[in-house]
């Protein structure tokens, strides 16, 4: 009888625990959810369980959650997707952005600004991708993807990136197809010759692998014409990065006529054709003299990205939120900015499972506050725009786990080891 009594007590305890089982591991409560894919822009609660978005609703009982995030007065968005960064970091001298000292380790510069996915834009080529995958992709908490450089050695800089013999579309496509989980497309950059071969070979690889191409264009004097690039060489869905740049030395054509301050007609036609215009801010690839007239004309970026590396992050670029705040202060509305930083890049890189807060989706979520104050947003020339607001990351959730909490807005706080 005594054994039976103990058994009944044990079962009762189990039933009691089950009856109070919590429905959500994390509940983000009271924030304004901005989810462009689902056309949501209102105060909602977001419940997360087992790495997925379990429920998005007006009022979810906080007693049903293990942890509750107080997001009142804040914005809740999908985790940001930076489709132009440089995270193939290493220790090799004279390797520039391919296993070199100018690229950065992703986890140190992503979660703190709400980025959960970053695409390395050409650091690795078909010949160096395995090293990038083993060293960086496998060892990062951030979701790291790759635009594979058409140059086999990747972004080594200098003569390495001028070697057209190393730009093999068949080998590049083969590596991309073999690594579809990690490679999202191909990259062309830094070529200084008067030759379309780098672009054309990248597009050939793109056709073979059914993936887009990102082009960092220009280098020759006089520059090859952008209209020809957009209309004759690239395909709809291919990406023109550094869209708002003016480089010295007449080595890259601009999309805005500096004399008339008008967006050139071929750029408008290219957008209608399906060419993707990406910010790719970088250390020298953003000018207000291009961006302001483009914004006034409604020529907004399809995607916002950083071109993150040690030079840009310590210059006028800073990070994703600094760029997003710049566009906000130039008059781009916040839902459009969030779309260009989440759902739109997800579609561009064919990762539609990311970039939204749909029930059942991967729980990559960012919580932002809009900080009030007096702020200065300057470009590489020193031209400064002032503003009263800028975005600040309060919390980042990656795959259903809190990976960054600025001010401890989660209760209770569980510190990860």
**CB under 8 Å to 274, separation ≥6 — which residues?**
235, 236, 237
Task: Report how far residue 57's alpha carbon sits from residue 69's, in angstroms, rounded to the nearest whole number.
Answer: 15
Residue 237 to residue 277: CA distance in whole angstroms = 10
For 71-167, list the strands marked E by DSSP: 75-78, 80-85, 115-125, 143-149
Residue numbering of the annotated binding site: 84, 86, 187, 242, 307
Do the strands 213-215 and 239-240 form a parallel or antiparallel pair, or are they unpaired? parallel
- Concatenating the DSSP letter of every residue in 244-297 gives T---TTS-S--SEETTTTEE-HHHHHHHHHT-EEB---TTT---HHHHHHHHHT
Q: How far is CA 298 from the centre of its chain?
A: 22
Strand partners, 362: 52
Annotated binding residues for Zn(2+), as ranges?
84, 86, 187, 242, 307
* Among 350, 395, 313, 402, residue whose Cα is nearest residue 87: 313
Main-chain dihedrals φ then ψ at residue 336, nearest 5 degrees: -65, -35
Sequence-distant (6+) residues with CB within 8 A of 81 are: 115, 116, 117, 118, 119, 341, 342, 345, 346, 349, 351, 354, 355
Packing angle between helix 169-178 and helix 197-209, nearest 10 degrees? 40
């Amino acid at each position: 009888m005594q054994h039976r009594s103990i058994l009944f007590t044990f079962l009762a305890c189990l039933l009691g625990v089950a009856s109070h089982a919590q429905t959500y591991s994390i509940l983000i409560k009271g924030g304004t959810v901005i989810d462009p894919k689902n056309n949501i822009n209102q105060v909602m609660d977001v419940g997360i369980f087992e790495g997925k978005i379990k429920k998005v609703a007006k009022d979810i009982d906080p007693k049903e959650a293990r942890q509750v995030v107080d997001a009142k007065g804040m914005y809740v968005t999908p985790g940001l997707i930076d489709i132009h960064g440089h995270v193939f970091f290493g220790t090799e001298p004279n390797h520039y952005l391919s296993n070199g000292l100018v690229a950065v380790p992703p986890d140190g510069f992503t979660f703190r600004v709400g980025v959960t996915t970053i695409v390395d834009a050409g650091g690795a080529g078909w010949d160096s991708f395995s090293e990038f995958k083993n060293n960086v992709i496998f060892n990062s908490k951030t979701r790291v993807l790759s635009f594979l450089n058409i140059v086999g050695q990747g972004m080594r800089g200098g003569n390495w990136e001028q070697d057209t013999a190393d730009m093999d579309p068949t080998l590049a496509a083969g590596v991309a197809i073999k690594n579809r989980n990690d490679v999202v497309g191909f990259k062309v950059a830094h070529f200084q010759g008067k030759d379309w071969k780098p672009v054309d070979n990248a597009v050939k690889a793109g056709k073979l692998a059914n993936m887009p191409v990102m082009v960092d264009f220009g280098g020759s004097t006089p520059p090859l014409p952008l209209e020809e690039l957009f209309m004759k060489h690239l395909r709809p869905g291919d990406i023109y990065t550094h869209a708002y740049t003016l480089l010295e030395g007449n080595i890259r054509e601009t999309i805005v006529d500096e004399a008339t301050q008008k967006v050139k007609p071929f750029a408008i036609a290219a957008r209608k054709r399906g060419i993707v215009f990406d910010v790719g801010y970088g250390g020298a690839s953003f000018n207000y003299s291009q961006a302001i007239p483009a914004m006034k004309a409604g020529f907004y970026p399809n995607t916002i990205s950083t071109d993150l590396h040690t030079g840009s992050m310590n210059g006028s670029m800073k990070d994703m939120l600094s760029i997003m705040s710049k566009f906000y202060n130039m008059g781009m509305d916040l839902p459009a900015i969030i779309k260009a930083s989440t759902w739109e890049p997800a579609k561009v890189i064919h990762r539609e499972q990311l970039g939204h807060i749909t029930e059942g989706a991967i729980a990559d979520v960012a919580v932002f506050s809009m900080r009030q104050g007096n702020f200065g947003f300057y470009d590489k020339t020193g031209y400064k725009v002032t503003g009263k607001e800028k975005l600040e990351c309060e919390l980042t959730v990656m795959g259903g786990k809190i990976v960054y909490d600025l001010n401890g807005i989660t209760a209770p706080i569980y510190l990860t080891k």
